[in-house]
């Protein structure tokens, strides 16, 4: 949490500076002198650069310390434009290894900057390069070094033998050098008078090493008199492989999540050059017992954990220079173990390619890499979904059974998300437990249907369970109330065509936990109020909606006997489950002796004055609140939504037909607490429990003779209007040859909701 707050503060400071600049600088004086440089610099692009550089270095794992960023806050307080410009220049100068000048003739020279020339053995460091662009050049800046060139280049077509290699050549080629031109930076120079680039350097060796650095912006741009090259002697700190010893709560070898930071906030291993299974877009890495992590001598803060069911622990670690076989012992501690009570966690929506993943040249990562992340977050089930990016490469891992890496307690399975397919505009589909991944009579993605219902029916015909992904996209409204009757635009890739497909009994579940909870739950509540029995399931959509970790959204499914993928999926289909971010739990939900997902509707022959409702509940919150979260911003699901202000307590809410009918307060200290409600059942209803914005059970359905279920006219009318809105958005994008069938399916949904509205038993 402190790190998140720090990032927000950085952006806030820079945003305020930019806003102040708009009003503080008269139009005739918008060009001003940068402190100590004598360069005419325009303030707005300088601030914009600073913002992007701060973000880029944060992403590379080399953030600016808070103490250095404090100068920006001081400049904002002072309120003068020249002071802001000087503060930005001072901040960035501390990271500048070299300064490059492009003279009016386009010739490039290079001089030493003020940053310390310090590297780490077998590790990467990032530095800034200040560019004084007097020619307004807009090409790409390149830095090179003879110490960073290959020992020899293979001959093209083997027509010329490689030259002989001398020992001196090997000794001299100790450096690797790369410019960082990825987002949030742009690959080419902007043409502004002053701008900054990032260069990353790697050292093979330790000790003192000299490197010559040269700069160019295209062939023949080097300045005369050897001014385009500079010699720098680097001090390279030694490093060593640290052995990680990981034990779980039972003393067994395990896998842990490790976030390693030094005193300057630098993250190890360097994020810019990680290779799978270490992902460059994450701060943490995962290590199994007896594996290693390469670190230089020094002091570190190591955050150890294993997903939300474990206590995250911070430790101070000091590694001594020359220490023999350094090691780090990690003893994992659980605060809750749902699997010991038969509730198995699973994330049914994770990807091994696309979005933040490595897309080239291998089109994603291997099952071994994904399994490490599933183990490192203590998931019982990880469903890796093949989809558009990398689909043709990743499909080789689909074999309609558990992956061979699966264990008795952790299952890895490859299935399918229909995303990047012709039907994607109608809503992305999650298809689990497929036996066949190829839609009939198709050879490529483009041959698949352009709307959802045929795909759902095909999947269910082969025994799969099917639902909608990231349900809230396209269903956003201003209200955060549940239920609410505002009309969404149905213009996204969430549970949009669900409003039609549910009337065809083609949908087993909608997904939650990775979009704003009010948008996800509202359409589900409305269709439950119409008598449909779709279930809810938790997902992450890693690494697309979030790339922080797998298992940020989870389904906890009760499975009798040994864990199997078939049993877990059946529990999901039957609603024998609850969804959660992993920090709140609603186990063993029972209404009058009838357990959630146990099958038949709970029936009463007459209205009941008092019906007992029980559950075993737990929640873990820090004692101090970080503030009320915005429900429209990530993290979309967090127990902070349910915190009672000024306390460490949350409310467990009993929900009947979408309305809260009871509340009970529990302490969010991680302990399991039994809750009990007694509700009056007058009509057939659906009943569920929730910890608002953090956990939600599936419903238990209750009937009271002679009436089987209470349906809502208002919900049916909302659903009917939603069908119209959805057709207006999706209909024009459905292929002409499929549109009549789609029109008939939509018309079926209209008739169904109209019938429900006409015969509804409640307003």
Domain assignment present for residue 156? The answer is no
Q: Could you tell me if 618 and 638 lie in one domain?
A: yes
What would the 3-class secondary structure string for 331-362 be? Answer: ECCECCCHHHHCEEEEEEEECCCCCCCCCCCC
Last residue within a domain, chosen from 560, 580, 600: 580
Q: Could you tell me if 571 and 672 lie in one domain?
A: no
Q: Are 211 and 232 in contact (CB under 8 A)?
A: yes
Residue 420 sits at φ, ψ, to 5 deg, of 80, 15
Q: Residue written as tokens 């070299």?
A: 98
Neighbouring C-beta atoms of residue 530, cutoff 10 Å: 24
Q: Could you tell me if 565 and 468 lie in one domain?
A: yes
Sort strands 685-691 and 695-697 into parallel, antiparallel or unpaired: antiparallel
Q: Could you tell me if 350 and 408 lie in one domain?
A: yes
Dihedral of the CA atoms 313, 514, 1, 585 (nearest 10)?
-50
- Domain with 755 in it: 713-759
Surface-to-core class of residue 33, CB atoms within 10 Å of its CB (0-12 exposed, 13-18 middle, 19+ buried): middle
379: CB partners within 8 A, 6+ apart: 307, 345, 346, 347, 410, 550, 551, 554
Q: Could you tell me if 568 and 678 lie in one domain?
A: no
Domain assignment present for residue 513? The answer is yes
Q: Are 238 and 123 in contact (CB under 8 A)?
A: no
Which residues, listed in sequence order, are joined to residue 533 by a DSSP beta bridge? none
What CA–CA distance (Å, rounded) separates 476 from 105?
55
Q: Could you tell me if 592 and 575 lie in one domain?
A: no
692: CB partners within 8 A, 6+ apart: 517, 641, 642, 651, 653
Domain assignment present for residue 288? The answer is yes
Last residue within a domain, chosen from 563, 580, 597: 580
Last residue within a domain, chosen from 306, 331, 356: 331
What CA–CA distance (Å, rounded) separates 398 from 384?
9
- The pLDDT value recorded for residue 82 is 82
Instruction: Report helix, strand or coil for 630.
Output: coil
Q: Are 213 and 98 in contact (CB under 8 A)?
A: yes
- The pLDDT value recorded for residue 161 is 45
Q: Could you tell me if 472 and 375 lie in one domain?
A: yes
What CA–CA distance (Å, rounded) separates 734 from 681?
45
166: CB partners within 8 A, 6+ apart: none
Q: Could you tell me if 390 and 521 lie in one domain?
A: yes
Q: Could you tell me if 696 and 718 lie in one domain?
A: no
Q: Residue 647 maps to which CATH number?
A: 2.60.40
Q: Could you tell me if 704 and 717 lie in one domain?
A: no
- The pLDDT value recorded for residue 222 is 75
- The pLDDT value recorded for residue 448 is 98
Domain assignment present for residue 130? The answer is no
Domain assignment present for residue 648? The answer is yes
- The pLDDT value recorded for residue 4 is 34
- The pLDDT value recorded for residue 650 is 98
- Please list the rounded mean pLDDT of every run of 10 residues in the chain (763 residues): 37 40 35 42 86 92 89 74 85 94 92 96 95 94 90 43 69 93 93 94 96 89 78 96 96 98 92 91 97 94 98 93 84 98 98 87 89 98 95 95 98 98 98 97 97 98 98 97 97 98 98 98 98 97 97 97 97 98 98 93 83 97 92 96 97 97 98 96 93 98 82 97 98 98 98 96 81
Q: Are 599 and 574 in contact (CB under 8 A)?
A: yes
């Amino acid at each position: 949490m402190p790190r998140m707050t720090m990032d927000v503060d950085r952006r806030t400071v820079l945003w305020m500076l930019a806003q102040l600049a708009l009003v503080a600088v008269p139009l005739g004086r918008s060009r001003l002198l940068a402190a100590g440089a004598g360069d005419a610099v325009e303030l707005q692009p300088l601030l914009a650069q600073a913002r992007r550089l701060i973000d880029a270095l944060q992403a590379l794992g080399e953030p600016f310390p808070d103490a250095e960023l404090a100068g920006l806050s001081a400049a904002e307080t002072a309120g003068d434009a020249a002071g802001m410009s000087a503060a930005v220049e001072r901040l960035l100068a501390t990271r500048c290894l070299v300064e490059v000048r492009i003279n009016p003739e386009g010739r490039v020279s290079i001089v030493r900057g003020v940053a310390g020339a310090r590297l780490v053995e077998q590790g990467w460091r990032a530095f800034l390069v200040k560019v004084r662009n007097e020619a307004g050049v807009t090409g790409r800046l390149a830095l090179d070094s003879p110490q960073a060139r290959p020992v020899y280049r293979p001959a093209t077509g083997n027509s010329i033998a490689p030259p002989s290699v001398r020992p001196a050549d090997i000794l001299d080629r100790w450096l690797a050098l790369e410019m960082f031109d990825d987002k949030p930076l742009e690959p080419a120079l902007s043409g502004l008078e002053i701008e900054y680039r990032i260069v990353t350097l790697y050292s093979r060796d330790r000790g003192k090493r000299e490197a010559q650095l040269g700069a160019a912006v295209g062939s023949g741009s080097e300045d005369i008199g050897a001014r385009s090259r500079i010699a720098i002697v680097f001090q390279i700190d030694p490093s060593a492989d640290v052995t990680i010893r990981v034990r779980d709560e039972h003393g067994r070898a395990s896998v842990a999540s490790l976030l390693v930071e030094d005193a300057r906030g630098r993250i190890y291993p360097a994020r810019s050059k990680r290779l799978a299974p270490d992902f460059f877009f994450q701060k943490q890495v995962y290590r199994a017992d007896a594996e290693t992590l390469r670190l230089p001598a020094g002091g570190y803060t190591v955050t150890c954990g294993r997903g939300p069911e474990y206590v995250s622990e911070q430790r101070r670690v000091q590694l001594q220079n020359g220490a023999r076989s350094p090691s780090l012992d990690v003893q994992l501690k659980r605060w809750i173990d749902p699997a010991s009570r038969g509730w198995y966690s699973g994330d049914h929506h994770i990807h091994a390619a696309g979005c933040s993943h490595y897309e080239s040249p291998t089109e994603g990562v291997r099952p071994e890499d994904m399994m490490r992340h599933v183990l490192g977050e203590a998931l019982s089930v990880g469903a890796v979904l093949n989809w558009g990016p990398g689909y043709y490469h990743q499909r080789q891992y689909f074999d309609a059974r558990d992956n061979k890496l699966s264990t008795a307690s952790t299952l890895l399975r490859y299935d399918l998300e229909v995303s990047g397919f012709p039907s994607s505009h109608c809503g992305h589909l999650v298809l689990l437990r497929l036996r066949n991944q190829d839609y009939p009579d198709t050879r490529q993605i483009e041959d698949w249907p352009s709307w959802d219902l045929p795909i759902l029916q095909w999947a269910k015909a082969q025994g799969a369970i099917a639902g909608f992904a990231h349900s809230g996209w396209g269903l956003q409204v201003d209200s955060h109330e549940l239920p609410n009757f505002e009309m969404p635009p149905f213009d996204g890739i969430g549970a949009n065509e669900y409003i039609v497909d549910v009337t065809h009994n083609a949908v087993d579940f909608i997904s939650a936990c990775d979009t704003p909870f009010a948008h996800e739950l509202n359409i589900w509540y409305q269709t439950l109020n119409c008598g449909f029995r779709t279930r809810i399931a938790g997902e992450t959509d890693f690494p697309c909606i979030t790339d922080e970790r797998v298992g940020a959204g989870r389904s906890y499914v009760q499975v009798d006997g040994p864990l199997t993928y078939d049993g877990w999926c059946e529990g999901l289909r039957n609603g024998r489950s609850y969804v959660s971010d992993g920090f709140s739990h609603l186990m063993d939900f029972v209404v009058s002796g009838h357990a959630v997902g146990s099958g038949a509707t709970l029936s009463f022959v007459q209205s009941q004055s008092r019906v007992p409702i029980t559950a075993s509940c737990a929640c873990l919150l820090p004692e101090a609140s970080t503030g009320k979260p915005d429900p429209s911003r990530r993290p979309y699901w967090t127990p902070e939504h349910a915190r009672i202000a000024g306390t460490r307590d949350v409310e467990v809410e009993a929900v009947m037909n979408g309305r809260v009918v009871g509340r009970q307060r529990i302490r969010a200290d991680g302990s399991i607490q039994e809750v009990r409600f007694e509700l009056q059942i007058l009509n057939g209803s659906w009943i569920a429990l929730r910890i608002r914005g953090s956990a939600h059970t599936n419903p238990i359905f209750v009937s009271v003779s002679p009436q089987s279920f209470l349906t809502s006219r208002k919900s049916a009318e909302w659903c009917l209007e939603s069908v119209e809105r959805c057709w207006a958005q999706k209909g024009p994008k459905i292929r002409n040859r499929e549109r009549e069938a789609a029109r008939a399916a939509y018309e079926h949904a209209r008739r169904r909701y109209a019938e429900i509205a006409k015969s509804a038993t409640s307003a």
